[in-house]
Chains A and B, each alone.
Chain A
């Protein structure tokens, strides 16, 4: 908490010129500015609430599934730490325009500033174009985290809707959807990814779309399974008896109750997507310059692993840290949401 305060204040002091110029600047600067203000407000609000809570005596309210889960989640220090790490990374990604010491796309002198080892000016060194690695890692966070988030949102949305429809409708529609799922799952995904990305011009949108559109069968199966077991439960039967419309039943009652496993799957999925994008980068199919994802940076820097290890090691560590955090947080969430696993 203190560290966060420190970081926000440091931005205000050390980068005041950028902060002041931000509201009239490029969109990412405006986003960063808004984030900065919001973060400060949230922090203030949070502290006030905390103060109050300490003074107020706790009144026991009805404890729902989510607050139970939250209490269970808080018990696991590892999971909480991981969740905080993830949030810090997202915050850093949003605040990048204020944090990055250099412009990630500007090349320094190709003769004198090329592949410098980490130093005070360049804490993580410079790359083969004399660009500052720290700035690139920070800017890369935006790309990698966005890829993970958007691709998973796409696949989870499709998966949830299809799974719910399939499980609720049953019969022909169900078996049709499930055959389709079988087919997509059996599809050699890598062949598909490479073929599409190679044959069309590779761009970040294409990569996100392709990853998202090939990842939905797993959540579909997951949600369908949940729906099948929920369908026979009392509250749905009651809803049916009340004559609620099917759409309303599915949207308002079925889907919200399947969310727990979907959220867990999504958390884990973001991590997997970031690693998958790194793998594509290795084949030269990742996000293309000058925007660089962490995966691209690791892959492009790997030929210099022996000469200039910092070029690919730091973005690599960033991947490991974020993906690890997503996974730990996801595991914690799973344990917290599954009453059978609570110890």
Chain B
């Protein structure tokens, strides 16, 4: 097992470096650079030249590439052009926010998706099954930013201003303005309240996909002999489904875990924008528009690693859940 993991990690190093290289040269093809975004007649051409020198943009692209690569291999991501800070500092501030949001969205999505999928499989082709399908796919079919805006209008604006519901949720940010002055309990409450809308809107989209997989794999499992045997032994339906069928039905869903992991780092940009959540997606997308190569490169790098880790996690989980699989 350990040997397998090691082998996979080693094999993915060229993959990650290859991706980083391609992105680097792709970005260098772009017209304009970070310095040319400082437009104003107050900025003389000499100042622009100096800025380029200070940012190292006056060098030819292959020199910049080798500089960047060697610095990065030493763990130095360079300095952001648009934010005037070391990239590593920025990532350290932003990455945890993304992790919190992704973790919650994952938790919600897998819990809901698995439960719905099982329910659908048990009630295959009945009203519950098809109506759950339609409802799940309804959310799946919405452009995510639109869904997010709707949630804000309903659960924040509408709930508070129009209908006076007892509960409403904050529309943006990670914490309230008064956060630093709250007691720890209030702080937790505040954080959770701010997490609800963004993680629900992320999770709704994911959950629909998970439920669909879960339904399919449960349907296969339910038809197998050992389930019939379990039923014929007179075990209760609940125990058949949850004790026997679920364990095997979960196997294909677990691969989804690995597949969705990268999505949560790039697919969240729209959600992060709508809910003003300071996360990696926004960071990287803004950086592309601002020609802030060091940040884009670092983001890409982290993303590629996430994909590799995601796939690895999926494989390992697979082995843990399915005793037939052995990695030697």
Contact = CB atoms under 8 A, between A and B. Distances in A.
Mutual binders A and B: yes
A271 to B, nearest CB: 7
Nearest to A76: B125
Contacts of A78: 130, 133-134
B225 to A, nearest CB: 14
Contact of B26 (A192, A312, A331, A334): A192
Nearest to B22: A187
Interface stretch (B71-79, B102-110, B141-149, B170-178): B141-149
Category for how many chain B residues contact A: 35 or more
A279 B147 CA distance: 11
Interface stretch (B44-52, B54-62, B302-310): B302-310
27 contacts: A183-B15, A185-B307, A186-B262, A186-B307, A187-B22, A188-B19, A191-B266, A191-B296, A192-B26, A194-B288, A194-B289, A195-B26, A196-B26, A199-B31, A271-B141, A279-B144, A298-B146, A302-B149, A306-B157, A316-B142, A316-B143, A320-B138, A323-B137, A323-B141, A324-B134, A324-B138, A331-B137
Interface of A: 76, 78, 179, 182-183, 185-192, 194-196, 198-199, 271, 275, 278-279, 282-283, 295, 298-299, 302, 305-306, 312, 316, 319-324, 327-328, 331, 334, 340-341, 343
Nearest to A312: B146
A328 B133 contact: yes
The 6 closest A-B pairs by CB, nearest first: A323-B141, A278-B143, A186-B307, A190-B266, A199-B30, A324-B141
A197 B5 CA distance: 37
Nearest to B305: A186
A229 to B, nearest CB: 16
Contact of A182 (B15, B134, B153, B296): B15
B133 A331 contact: yes
Interface stretch (B34-42, B87-95, B184-192, B215-223): B215-223
Contact of B143 (A186, A279, A341): A279
Interface in B208-247: 212, 216, 219-220, 223
B253 interface: no
B134 A328 contact: yes
Contacts of A196: 26
Given A279-B270, A316-B146, A323-B141, 6 more contacts: A78-B134, A195-B23, A199-B29, A282-B273, A324-B138, A331-B137
Nearest to A186: B307
Contacts of A299: 145
A343 B123 CA distance: 12
Nearest to A325: B141
B65 interface: no
A191 B23 contact: yes
A191 B29 CA distance: 14
Contacts of B18: 183
A122 B296 CA distance: 45
B149 A190 contact: no
Contact of B266 (A76, A188, A340, A343): A188
B134 A305 contact: no
Given A186-B19, A188-B266, A191-B299, A198 B143 contact: no
A307 to B, nearest CB: 12
